[in-house]
Structure formats: structure tokens, C-alpha cells
Amino acid sequence: MSGSPTVRRRKVANGESEGIQSKGSTKSDPPISEIEPDESDEDVGREPGNAAGEDAAPADPLAPIREGINTAPCSAEFWVVVGTLVLCIVGVKYLENLPRQPSERVLTKEELAQRDGSNGNPIYLAIVGQVFDVTKGGKYYGENGGYQFFTGKDGSRAYLTGDFKNDLIEDVSDFTPEQLKGLVEWRDFYHEFKDYEYVGKLEGAFYDSTGKPTRALEEVELGAIEGLKVQARREAAKKEHPNCNSRWSQAKGGEVWCEEGYPRRVLETIPGAKPSTRCACFKGIGFSDARQVYPDCAPDQQRCKTKKKDKKEEKQEENQEEKEQEEKQEEGEDPPQKADDVNTEL
């Protein structure tokens, strides 16, 4: 039982031990001074010198550090403290010696205009407010180059409209999400193309004089994200109802057909995109105002003739063919001309 006294056995001269005697023994009990108490529960953990049971002093929060400093050099606690201090010092020195990024350069439109390749100047262009050095592409962006009109300015709008006379401007506020997606892809191209170097930002529609993004840039970025969603919706629609095969010639006009299903002229209204038309293949022969049968073509026919294209449409196709030929010639050396997915009305 905790707290009960015990008797310490003592060796006596005759080699016998004595202690508490059994009942009926004639020997007297040992003196109180020779009885030592067991450690009681209250004594466990009591600090030396605090035998009277006084309340312990509040814990010192710095005690571990003080003890570590006062610890013998060979103790584990000492080396833990030393190791921690060394790591802190090394970490601070490492951070101090890290290379500091210089402030990003912000150009004015006047400064950008001077970087057009003339008089030995480098060749710069900007897209969505970001400036790139395209001097290594001088064959295309330099004097008499096919893309010289882009240099010395931010012609973001023309990248998507193809109007290199009137649209070499920053304003893209009326672009659809898909157009903004295409514009951001153009910007990403200049970042990724190994021969072109990112220079900084242009003070204007997309960044202020300190290089801080404007509301116009935020709208471009958000619009591009929405453009990805529109693209996914469009691809899902095409997967459900694939595009028709088509061909056209000056002599015979146009023809659309489906290997499986029946051709229908469809007006698509995809959320976030402008309404567009395309020829889609449907498994059933049903039709409606939104799923029209081609003129002079029976609902169950898999091939249908289409109207001949007018001069304007022919001119558009010629321009497109010329552009595709240029792309093939310049592939691998300069950015191919990107074009929006054009749903030609058939």
C-alpha cells in the first residue's frame, strides 16, 4: 500500500537479520529512526530542496535555450542548439545572396515605334501589351518582310481579323471568347518561339505606366478562359453530329455528303459563341428549321448539291488558299498564319 512504512533489514553481529517480528514475538520494534518510508505519489517528481511540497515555480519558456547553452559541449542537447543556429545563419546568407530580379521594363508607344528595324535599331512588336524582340526574324519582320506591318506597335486586333491596314490597333473589346482565346494563343507563341525574346510591357490599353495590368487585360484573360469552354462545347456538338464531307469546283459547284447519316444545314447557337452554320450528319431523316434539308435534296439522300458560290465567296477562298500556301513555305521558320474556325455556309 503506497505510503506504508517498510523496515530495512540490518545485518547484526551474529549474522542474523532483524526487522518487524511476527505476532507474539518478544523482541521490541525497531526505533522510528530506523524505518524509512517509501516514496509516496506526492514525492514522485518533486524537485530536490522542495521536500516540504512547496508549489513549483512557473515554467521558463527560455529554459530549453538556456539549458542548451549551459549544456556540456559533448551533450546531444548542446549540438541540437548549435545545429539550429548554424542552419538559421546559413539560410539568411542564402536568401541575401539570391539574384534579384530587375524591375520589368515598361516601354512607351513612342519608344516601341523606334524599334522598327530602321537605322540599325532592333525589331520589336507588341501583342496584348507584351513586347517581344523579333530581330532574329528580320526576314519576315524587317524591311520588305511579309509581317513588317506588325513591328513598332501593338497590332493585337489584326492577328485575328486579318485586316492589316485598318486593324493594327490594341482594341479587342468586341472580340468573342473564341477570338480572345486565339489572341492569347498568339501571345503564347511569341513566348515559346526560341528566336524571339520577351522584352517587357507596353504602356497602353493593357498595362499602365508602372506595368500594372488594366481592366482590359483582365477581360482578355477571362474571355480566353471562356473561349476554352466554348471550344469544348463546340467539339462536343461535332462529336455528336460530325461535320459533312464537302467539295466544290467552279464547274460543278458544291456537294456535301455523309458516310453515315444524312446531311443537314444546322444553325448552331453555342453559349458564349456567335451563331454559326455548318453541315452536320444526322442518323435520322428528321428535319426542322434548325436542322434544314438542303434545297433540291430529299431528306433520305446522303449526298446533296449546294449552290454555286458568288464572287465574294470565291475571292475569300482564293485568299485562304494563298494564305495556306504561305504557311507551308514558312513552316518551321516563322509563325504559321492562324485562322479562326470558319464555318463556311454550304
Q: What is the pLDDT along the chain (346 residues), one digit of tens a residue?
A: 444 444 444 444 444 444 444 444 444 555 544 444 554 444 444 444 444 444 555 566 555 555 555 555 556 666 666 677 777 776 666 555 554 445 689 999 999 999 999 999 999 999 999 999 999 999 999 998 999 999 999 999 999 999 999 999 999 999 999 999 999 999 999 999 999 999 999 999 999 999 999 999 999 999 999 999 999 999 999 999 999 999 988 888 899 999 999 999 999 888 888 888 999 999 999 999 989 999 999 999 999 998 765 555 555 555 555 555 555 555 554 444 443 433 333 3
How far does CA 58 lie from the centroid of its chain? 51
Residue 267's SS3 state is strand
Cell 542548451 sits on residue: 68
Amino acid code (one letter) for 134: V
State how far the Cα of 255 lies from the Cα of 328, in Å rounded to an integer.
Answer: 27
Residue 142's SS3 state is coil
How far does CA 187 lie from the centroid of its chain? 16
pLDDT value at position 30? 52
Q: By the 8 A CB rule, do 279 and 263 touch?
A: yes
pLDDT value at position 197? 96
pLDDT value at position 70? 55
State how far the Cα of 117 lies from the Cα of 123, in Å rounded to an integer.
Answer: 5
Write out the E strands in the chain: 5-7, 10-11, 17-18, 35-37, 105-107, 124-127, 130-133, 197-202, 245-249, 253-257, 262-268, 276-282, 291-292, 303-306
Q: Helix, strand, coil shares of the chain as percentages rounded to 5? A: 35, 20, 45
Amino acid code (one letter) for 108: T
Take residue 108 and report the three cell numbers written for it: 512607351
pLDDT value at position 72? 55
Strands laid side by side in the 303-306 sheet = 245-249, 253-257, 303-306
The set of residues, in sequence order, having a beta carbon less than 8 Å from that of 122 and lying 6+ positions away, is: 115, 133, 135
Count Cβ atoms below 10 Å from residue 111 Cβ, excluding itself. 15
State how far the Cα of 86 lies from the Cα of 90, in Å rounded to an integer.
Answer: 6
Return the axis-axis angle of helices 177-192 and 215-240, rounded to nearest 10°: 110
pLDDT value at position 44? 45
State how far the Cα of 157 lies from the Cα of 209, in Å rounded to an integer.
Answer: 22
The set of residues, in sequence order, having a beta carbon less than 8 Å from that of 247 and lying 6+ positions away, is: 254, 255
Q: By the 8 A CB rule, do 209 and 203 touch?
A: yes
pTM of the model: 0.57
Q: By the 8 A CB rule, do 307 and 145 touch?
A: no
